[in-house]
A and B are shown apart, each in its own frame.
Chain A
Amino acid sequence: MSGPRPPVPAAGSAAPEVTPEELLTWADRLLTSPVDGLGLWPRACALVIRLALEQSLDRFWAGVLPEAAECGMRQQLLLLPLYAPAPPADSDFDDDASSLAREAWRGLARAAHHHVYELAPTAEELRRWHTVVSRLTVLLAAEPHDAVSTL
């Protein structure tokens, strides 16, 4: 069975018009329906989710601190708690933007590269990252607030 073939953008060179939401939809499709000729789908899927994470962060930084987008992920993750909006009151203790981003980045950074001894991520892991990045994207798309007041 042949579904619509999703574009598999190369890491770091996404066309600017692709939104994180669109990327997540593609990733979800990869997770739920088999795609012909794409034997490496777990890694492909991880790449798409990772891209969604980066796009989501870039879009966020563009609004509050454009320079941050130029920094490494370590710095971005350190800056995030200073700028990110607070999570909804009823969410888990680690449902803040920084925790979500850290968890997704930790998994995706590893999965999107080829490691000799490491197996491709499982559907469960991919689903988890997809969920985490989706949550983060929603959170970061909310109205940003004054960085200093969070401290």
Chain B
Amino acid sequence: MGDRGRGVEEIVLEKLKTDKVPESVANLIISAMRGGTALEYEQEPPPPDGEPRLSYLKGITAAGFRGIGPKITLPLQPGPGLTLITGRNGSGKSSLAEAAELALTGQNRRWTDRAAVWREGWRNLHEPEPAAIEVDMTEDGQHGSTIVTMRWAADADLGEADVFFMADGTPHRLADKGWSKPLELYRPFLSYSELGALVSGHPSKMHDALQAILGLDLLIDTERALTDSRKAADSASKAATKELPALLGKLANHPDPRAREAEKALGDKLPDLDALAALAAGGDDTTGGVARLLQRVADISMPDKEAVAAAFERVEAARAAVVATAGTKAADARRLASLLSFALEHRSEHVDEPCPVCGGRVLDNAWAKAAEASVVDLTATATWVDEALEEQAAALHALAQLIPAKPAVLSVDLGEDADPTEASEAWDRLVLPSLSVQAYETLIAPIVALQQRATTVLKERAEAWQPIANELAAWVKHARDSQQAAVLLADLQKALTWLRKVGKEVRNERLAPYAKTSAEVWDMLRQESSVELGPITLEGSGPQRKVALNVTIDGMEGAALGVMSQGELHALGLALFLPRATATGSPFGFLVIDDPVQSMDPAKVDGLARVLSHVARTRQLVVFTHDDRLASAIRQLQLPATVWTVTRRERSVVALKKTDDPVKRYLDDARAMARTRQLPVQVRAVAVAGLCRGALEAACYEVIRNRQLSAGVPHADVERALESAQTLHHVMALALFGSTDHGSELIAKVRELGGQASVNAFSYAKRGVHEGVNGDLKRLVEDTETLTKALRG
């Protein structure tokens, strides 16, 4: 068994480690894997009471579901054995199979891919209410039944049912059972359409279906997710290149000089995306050419009228101050003050001597005093005049400074959008001190006009650029995404290559034990068909993936699938399905197969009956079939089975009738044998006794399994007890007391069940086989039947 029970996820994680897959690649695989089914597994908490236990079906109940109107219950014998449910198409039998599958798995393979209209018809037409499904099960070690219930409110959709199971009288979440993973792995449900899908249809679909049957859905899902991602990454990595021609076309038609720059940058093998982004963001147009000149024009700063007027006023005031000095010569005053200062200095050493300049007047004290006063006055006068002149000069300078030097931009060609000539000439005449405020205003008019023109042109250009700038920006973003996608693409490619390699290993590892069983099943099914089934392998990857069935016909290899009949293909599908569902790791002791017989020829039906009967030795096998062929094969080949017949009356009233079971068959045969007068009575007696013993044993087995499994006795223990019960005596004790230790009380208990007649029947079945009997054989068969009825309660 080994890996079969181990999750695919676990195996993949382990191999990722041992293969030293780079982290970026490994992460892609893990997230692809967890994005799908794995996530659901993870969300499922570990079941509160440990691993799922071996379970069997005790009954399937449905009401208001598909073909079933009023509530109907199909009782089932827990434990290994074959139960056949036959009914015409439309009798409601498939509805029962689907109900069980839906309640346990939450889905039905037959519906999954159907159109909505198909899924919507799930409610019974005649009795849409109440709609409910119950699956009654036994579990090892679990006393009493586990009843999985699916119930719909009056207006609920198929997917909106309440699903729970009852235990200890309270509802629990089905997820607590921990079944979803084993259901995926061992899937104990198979329908006809699934069998068909296995072998018909596209080779890759068969591959995927087989993978699913092998419990490898996770690998498919992961590969599909990675393939999708790769596809997305691939188209993303090419998106920018793909969009480029359109963008270049628009740029070529755009007058903006930035379009030229962008075109140039885009021409490079590896365009400078940063530069392109700057261009796209360049709404303020600083990139040169005419635009830059216009921007300079717009940026020229002219003094406003108030400033000019103030400057003129200052000049006027300064002029007035200078006029007020009335021609006073500051230099004369300063010179005279200086002369008097020198004379006073001279006098200080030549007191009362005549003036050395004129030689006249004696420079006495009175002169000195007057001269000192004059020096002060003269100096003050000179300062005043100086200041008035300085202020006048400063005011004129300030006025002149108001007008900046003529910008060079007024002397160049601004292209067709603006002509600077007039402004330039006006500027030349802007020599302010010689002008008035009014003249200034007149003169600057052409300059202001030019500036306004420049601003308008720039604004228009920005408006014209913006849309394409947006496109450019979007492209730059795509190009960046594409660059990232290209990196991702390489990793995804590596991830896919690795996953496919590992997938192949895991698949064929997992396939090997199944393939062996498949070949055995096929050998049983094929009868004398000349088709031989060799090793099965899953091959190829991606769209080329397929199932390689090594099938030979009359020893010749060839495209065998093509020449196999539909019935053979279905038989093959079954051969592929059974090994998985019967794997020992499965916690499901049961297996539900819907209509495996269709399109099988009679010989195949015989083979199928044998295969099913073989499987039923270790599994509870519930088979739904639409005609009597399988039931008749089983009956005529004397294979043990319980057969139910389903009939559907008007208004979806479905009825179930048990038409055959091992007990009944033994009794029928015993009766037939008892009537056979041709035979010596001793021979008849021995044969009838053997058949009566068979009937009693079959009834006991049924009772033992039913009782003990429902009481939670592990299935393995039940089977061991049955095996060790060597004689009818032991088997009867096991059925009546639950153990083989009650030898002495047994007869009393049998008498209690059906009086002396039952004791006679029991003794006869025990001993008659060896001794024969003298007596009424028919009567003994009737007594045996009475006892079986009493046993089964």
- Give chain A interface residues in 54-78, CB to chain B under 8 Å: 65, 67-68, 70-72, 74-75, 77-78
Instruction: Determine if B680 and A125 form an interchain contact, defined as CB atoms under 8 angstroms apart.
Output: no
Contact flags B632-645 to A (C-beta < 8 A → 1, else 0)? 01001110000000
The residues of B that contact A128 with a CB separation of less than 8 Å are 527-528, 603
B648 CB → nearest A CB, Å: 24
B679 contacts A67, CB within 8 Å? yes
- State A78–B672 Cα separation when bound (angstroms): 10
Q: Is B301 part of the binding interface, using a Cβ–Cβ cutoff of 8 Å? A: no
Which residues on the B side are within 8 Å of A125 (C-beta)? 527-528, 601-603
> Are the C-beta atoms of A106 and B529 separated by less than 8 Å?
no
Chain B neighbourhood of A103, CB < 8 A: 606, 637
0/1 per residue, B266-292, Cβ < 8 Å to A? 000000000000000000000000000
Contacts A106-B633, A124-B603, A151-B770; is A82 near B686 (CB within 8 Å)?
yes
CB distance from B552 to the nearest CB of A (A): 15
Q: Which residue, A67, A72, A98, A103, has most C-beta atoms of chain B within 10 A?
A: A103
Determine if A127 is an interface residue (Cβ-Cβ < 8 Å).
yes
Residues in B neighbouring A67, C-beta threshold 8 A = 678-680, 683
A63 to chain B, nearest CB (A): 14
Complex Cα distance, B680 from A75, in Å, reads 13
B145-176 at interface with A (beta carbon < 8 Å) = none
Is residue B690 within 8 Å, beta carbon to beta carbon, of the partner chain?
A: yes
Assess whether B251 is interfacial by the CB under 8 Å rule.
no
Taken residue by residue from 513 to 534, chain B's Cβ proximity to chain A (1 for < 8 Å, 0 otherwise) reads as 0000000000000011110000
A79 and B638 alpha carbons, distance in the complex (Å):
13
Distance in Å: Cβ of A16 to nearest Cβ of chain B? 20
Q: Chain A interface secondary structure, helix, strand, loop or mixed?
A: helix
| Residues on the B chain within 8 Å of A82, using CB | 686-687, 690
Task: Say if the beta carbon of A131 comes within 8 Å of chain B.
Answer: yes
Give the chain A neighbours of B530 by CB distance below 8 A: 124
Instruction: Check B676–A77 contact: CB distance below 8 A.
Output: no
Interface of B is mostly: helix
A93-B614, A124-B530, A128-B528 given as contacts; is B602 within 8 A of A71 (CB)? no
Known: A65-B683, A98-B638. A75 touches B672 (CB 8 A): yes
| Given A77-B638, A78-B672, A124-B603, A70:B678 Cβ within 8 A | yes
Pair B527/A75 contact, Cβ less than 8 Å: no
Contact between A102 and B638, CB atoms less than 8 A apart: yes
Q: Assess whether B678 is in contact with A71, with CB atoms less than 8 Å apart.
A: yes
> Which residues of A lie under 8 Å from residue B691 when comparing CB positions?
78
B683 lies within 8 A of A78 (CB): no
Q: Smallest distance from the beta carbon of A31 to chain B beta carbons, Å?
A: 10
Given contacts A77-B638, A102-B638, contact A122 B678 (CB under 8 A): no
CB of A96, distance to nearest CB on chain B (Å): 11
CB of A5 within 8 Å of the partner chain: no
- Measured between beta carbons, the chain B residues less than 8 angstroms from A79 are 673, 679, 683, 687
- Whether a CB of chain A sits under 8 angstroms from the CB of B610 is yes
Q: Which chain B residues lie closer than 8 Å to A148 at the CB level?
A: 686, 769-770
Is B669 in contact with chain A by the CB < 8 A criterion? yes
- Say which residue of A74, A124, A131 sits within 8 Å of B672 (CB atoms): A74
**Which residues of A are interface residues toward B (Cβ below 8 A)?**
65, 67-68, 70-72, 74-75, 77-79, 82, 93-94, 98-99, 102-103, 105-107, 110, 121-122, 124-125, 127-128, 131, 147-148, 151
B-side residues, CB < 8 A to A, are 527-530, 601-603, 606, 610, 614, 633, 636-638, 669, 672-673, 676, 678-680, 683, 686-687, 690-691, 769-770
- Other A-B contacts than A71-B678, A103-B606, A124-B528, 4 sampled, CB-CB below 8 A, are A68-B678, A71-B679, A82-B690, A94-B610
Q: List 22 A-B contacts (CB under 8 A).
A: A67-B678, A68-B678, A70-B678, A71-B676, A74-B672, A75-B676, A78-B669, A78-B673, A82-B686, A82-B687, A93-B614, A94-B610, A103-B637, A106-B606, A121-B602, A122-B603, A124-B529, A124-B530, A147-B686, A148-B686, A148-B769, A151-B690
